[in-house]
Amino acid sequence: MAESRMKKKTVDSLYVGKSTIFKIFLLGGVAIISGLFIWYTFNVIDKLKEDTRSQVENNMKLWQLAANSNISSSVLQFIFDEVIVKANFPIIVLNEERVPINRRNVDNIADDDYSPETMALLKEIADEMVKQNGDFPLIIYTNDNDSILYYFCYGDSKVINELKIMPFIQIGIILIFLIVAMIGFQNIRKSEERLIWVGMAKETAHQLGTPISSLMGWLEILKTEKESGTLTTEDEQLFTDTMLNMETDVVRLEKVANRFGKIGSIPELTKHSLNELVQDAVDYYCRRLPFEGKGIKLQFDKSEIPSVKLNQELLGWALENIIKNALQSVDSKTGLIKLTTSMPPQGHCVTLEILDNGKGISSAAARKIFRAGFTTKKRGWGLGLTLVKRIIEEYHGGRITLKKSKPGETLFEIQFPVTD
């Protein structure tokens, strides 16, 4: 037994270790790829900005040349229309007082809009352009040998602005893909766990079937021997008691085999009294209380509730498991386990509460108690509450939750839907 537990711990440790390494590998890969995306994109943006600045500087030289040269008007018009006006980035021209007097390619602002609100907005945009890319002075000489000073400022083109957000879109796509992959991985794990459950259940049912059949055969032989009339009175009484006990155990074993046999298949649900099923589970453990601890009290407070659709064998199994967990949690001398059925005012479900005064469940363990393989006990494989959750939620459409847990007070709540 100790060896098997050591093997289980070793397997669990290896699995947890591999799972952690896999997650770290995925996160590290995403971080590296994201960093490369951002570095490459902003490297391209810097080059585009350099090209834009070079283009602006050349345009300013042409503009300065056009404004202060005696070249023909047709050449001037060509320079302005083909070189300066066709720039694909936003441009704002400021006067000497740095008030916008002209602009082009500014998003969401019409070229012929000169309202006070628009001019104020242009001033803010121009200040931001100067902060990012600086400004370029433009001096125009008049015929009177006077000069007029203008300032030329520009912003990033649409291509550059789109490139700025591109790596973050790519990272978002990668993260979405990663989340989908992790969800898929978790679903695959759950599917594997279910297959293991089904295989284990079928094999257990098969293994139990052989000794059950054998015991039933021996019971038939004992009955035949008793009916032969060759036994003394004392032997007959002992024989009768032994047969009754054997029959009880055989029926119990047969029920266990049937329960395991139902795992993996869709169980048949019929309307039945939840109170009766809980009472049966309580009675079963009340007969065992002298072995569990003479000081333990197990009580059931039932309310008037409607019948619900359930499978008696599977749900009985779940109830026995959760009561057994409570028995193992409480003190053998002062333990108290209280089961209560009720129906909320809405009337959509019936509720079963299981309250015990045991040692409680830590907040860290509370998040894992329904996971397959998790256990806080020295013995066991951590399948009890996983089985309970599966029977209640997957097979009966109900819900089980740990409402609260602290030393001296642990409360589980189970709800079943009420159907017509």
Residue % of the chain over a pLDDT of 90: 13
Question: Rounded to an integer, what distance in angstroms lies between the CA atom of residue 309 and that of residue 311?
Answer: 7
Element (H, E) at 340: strand 336-342
Write out pLDDT tens, residues 354-371: 999 998 888 888 888 887
Structure tokens at 390: 């599966």
Element (H, E) at 151: strand 147-154
Write out pLDDT tens, residues 159-197: 777 777 777 777 788 778 778 877 877 777 666 666 556
Confidence of residue 3 (pLDDT cuts 50, 70, 90): very low
317: CB partners within 8 A, 6+ apart: 259, 387, 391
The pLDDT of residue 299 is 92
What integer is the mean pLDDT of 203-228?
Answer: 65
- Burial (Cβ within 10 Å: 0-12, 13-18, ≥19) of residue 215: middle
- Burial (Cβ within 10 Å: 0-12, 13-18, ≥19) of residue 55: middle
Residue % of the chain over a pLDDT of 70: 68
The pLDDT of residue 409 is 92
Write out pLDDT tens, residues 121-144: 888 888 888 888 888 787 776 666
Q: How far is CA 90 from the centre of its chain?
A: 46
The pLDDT of residue 341 is 95
Cα 1 to Cα 5, 8, 137, 176, distances in angstroms = 6, 11, 88, 45
Structural contact between residues 142 and 172, judged by C-beta atoms closer than 8 angstroms: no
Helix orientation angle between 312-329 and 274-286, rounded to the nearest 10 degrees: 50
Q: What is the mean pLDDT of the chain?
A: 76
388 pLDDT above the threshold of 50: yes
Structural contact between residues 282 and 249, judged by C-beta atoms closer than 8 angstroms: no
For the chain, which residues make up each domain, given as ranges?
2-161, 162-262, 270-417
Cα 379 to Cα 14, 157, 321, distances in angstroms = 19, 68, 15
Question: Rounded to an integer, what distance in angstroms lies between the CA atom of residue 218 and that of residue 209?
Answer: 14
Question: Rounded to an integer, what distance in angstroms lies between the CA atom of residue 134 and that of residue 160?
Answer: 17
The pLDDT of residue 19 is 60
The pLDDT of residue 2 is 45
15 pLDDT above the threshold of 50: no
The pLDDT of residue 33 is 77
Structural contact between residues 239 and 231, judged by C-beta atoms closer than 8 angstroms: yes
| φ, ψ of residue 341 in degrees (nearest 5) | -105, 145
Class assignment of domain 270-417? alpha beta
161 DSSP β-pair partners: none
Structure tokens at 27: 């996160």
Structural contact between residues 154 and 129, judged by C-beta atoms closer than 8 angstroms: yes
Question: Rounded to an integer, what distance in angstroms lies between the CA atom of residue 148 and that of residue 126?
Answer: 19
Question: Rounded to an integer, what distance in angstroms lies between the CA atom of residue 318 and that of residue 398?
Answer: 12
414 pLDDT above the threshold of 70: yes
Question: Rounded to an integer, what distance in angstroms lies between the CA atom of residue 194 and that of residue 265?
Answer: 11
Shortest CA distance to 122 belongs to which of 89, 158, 94? 94
Sign, CA torsion 160/162/164/170: negative
Write out pLDDT tens, residues 259-271: 666 666 677 889 9
- SS3 string of 6-46? HHHHHHHHHHHHHHHHHHHHHHHHHHHHHHHHHHHHHHHHH
Q: What is the dihedral of CA 96, 99, 102, 108, to 10 degrees?
A: 160
Write out pLDDT tens, residues 39-55: 877 787 778 778 777 77
What integer is the mean pLDDT of 199-227?
Answer: 64
